[in-house]
Amino acid sequence: MTKSAAKKPTPPDLYLFLQMANIFAINRCSSSVYQRFIVQFNSTQRFNPLSSHVSKSRFIKLNNLRRNCSLSSDAAAPFIVADDEKYGNKQVISITPRLYDYILANAREPPILRQLREETANMRGSQMQVSPDQAQLLAMLVQILGAARCIELGVYTGYSSLAIALALPESGCLVACERDAKSLEVAKRYYELAGVSHKVSVKHGLAADVLKSMISNGETCSYDFAFVDAEKRMNQEYFELLLQLVRVGGVIVIDNVLWHGKVADPLVNDVKTVSIRNFNRNLMADDRVSISLVPIGDGMTICRKR
């Protein structure tokens, strides 16, 4: 190929840059992200992205969004204003890394839980572990309920189950279901270190099978609290089984209901996302429970059985 026939590098697609800026700004209300994209926008001389009505509209929309972000001098605590006026222009805090650090600094984490968290951080799949603020909420729910009998589906290395077990009375019981034997060994070691092994009944196997066995054994309506953090595509089945096991007035908490924000993105339609989205929709219409979707961690829905 001759030099004259060689293709010239394709100039940056600023339409794409603006779209990405819009997405980041909506998700994070980030002034710094907005500014970086606008610098790119202004400095590029290859073509003018404002040459069409569509690109002008995108730019105006992004600029309006920027004005809706109220930032402190160090961009530590932005808030987002709801677009829909029916919500009264409600200002909602958007969690930045600095603000999240502050939240974690104000979460009470027992030393044994911190030790487990730090060990788990070096393991494969460490992102599956709940955060200290989530664990604190789970423990408080158990205490508020006065729960004595609990269930957890999806133990991993035991951070959330240990938080629950520590909150249970000495006579309490937590049925902890996990299919991965290796991570379960870590959990059992920490139950021993924390002195709560007598409260935890470890079940190695598939969560649905364990729940069905408990129902067959006549344990229906005998549990106060359940936490679900297992296979997301099984959430509906887990929920139906737990409704049989949890008493009236008992609570079921489901983790990862926001799924990294994917549930709100109509362009994301993989199997897990669609499954969680459908489960959330079903919960909204389910009059067997009262619900509250809490945007903590990756989103947790608290269900109280009526």
Q: Kindly list the domain boundaries of the chain, sorted by start residue.
A: 111-305
pLDDT for the residue 20:
53
Thinking of the domain 111-305, which architecture would CATH place it in?
A: 3-Layer(aba) Sandwich (3.40)
Q: For residue 163, give Cα distances in angstroms to 1, 76, 182, 273.
A: 66, 30, 20, 28
- List, as one string, the DSSP characters of 102-166: HHHHTS---HHHHHHHHHHTTSTTGGGSPPHHHHHHHHHHHHHHT--EEEEE--TTSHHHHHHHH
pLDDT for the residue 42:
47
How do residues 173-209 score in pLDDT, each as one tens digit?
999 999 999 999 999 999 999 999 999 999 999 999 9
Q: What are phi and psi of 196, to 5 degrees?
A: -120, 15
Positive or negative torsion for Cα 38, 42, 46, 48: positive
How do residues 256-306 score in pLDDT, each as one tens digit?
999 999 999 999 999 999 999 999 999 999 999 999 999 999 999 999 999
Query: How many degrees, rounded to 5, is the angle at CA 291 between CA 287 and CA 297?
Result: 150
Sheet order of strands, 289-294 included: 200-204, 173-178, 149-153, 223-228, 246-255, 300-305, 289-294
Whether 153 contacts 226, CB under 8 Å:
yes
- pLDDT < 70: residue spans in the chain: 1-78
SS3 label, residue 189: helix
pLDDT for the residue 19:
52
Q: What are phi and psi of 151, to 5 degrees?
A: -130, 140
Whether 152 contacts 121, CB under 8 Å:
no
CA distance 235 to 282: 11
pLDDT for the residue 25:
47
pLDDT for the residue 81:
73
Positive or negative torsion for Cα 13, 18, 21, 26: negative
SS3 label, residue 242: helix
Q: Which amino acid is at 180?
A: D
